[in-house]
Amino acid sequence: AQSVTQPDIHITVSEGASLELRCNYSYGATPYLFWYVQSPGQGLQLLLKYFSGDTLVQGIKGFEAEFKRSQSSFNLRKPSVHWSDAAEYFCAGGAQKLVFGQGTRLTINP
């Protein structure tokens, strides 16, 4: 069965520091992978997606993610976080339907 795992429930970084959020997937074939961000009480906003081709994908708000088949990972990165990046981040995967990871809550220290 397909599954998506986010090992880190909560991460705190200082403003201006770099960020990496981890995501691991389990699929039989190459999955479609997504990263979403959710602010409290709000819906989901798509940050970026991977279907095929270039394994380093660029998204909105300065985020990028790298698909590594050998590690079954699709980690989200940002070189310098801003206070406004504080939110819940979800990795998701699937083709016919999306399966979500547990989410990682990002806190930014001033």
Partner 1 sequence: GAVVSQHPSWVICKSGTSVKIECRSLDFQATTMFWYRQFPKQSLMLMATSNEGSKATYEQGVEKDKFLINHASLTLSTLTVTSAHPEDSSFYICSARDPSARGRSYGYTFGSGTRLTVV
How many residues of this chain bind partner 1 (CB under 8 A)? 20
Burial of 88 (C-beta count, 10 Å sphere; 0-12/13-18/19+): middle
Question: Quick check: 83 binds partner 1 (CB under 8 A)?
Answer: no
Residue 16 CB, nearest distance to partner 1 (Å)? 27
Question: Quick check: 27 binds partner 1 (CB under 8 A)?
Answer: no
Q: How far apart are CA 64 and CA 32, in angstroms?
A: 16
Contact 64, 57 (CB under 8 A): yes
The dihedral of CA 83, 80, 31, 1: what is its sign? negative
Q: Which of residues 34-73 bind partner 1 (CB under 8 A)?
A: 34, 36, 41-44, 46, 49, 51
Question: Quick check: 103 binds partner 1 (CB under 8 A)?
Answer: yes
Residue 78 CB, nearest distance to partner 1 (Å)? 20
Give the residue with the Cβ less far from partner 1, 15 or 44: 44
Burial of 110 (C-beta count, 10 Å sphere; 0-12/13-18/19+): exposed
Q: Could you list the residues that contact partner 1 (CB under 8 A)?
A: 32, 34, 36, 41-44, 46, 49, 51, 90, 95, 97-103, 105
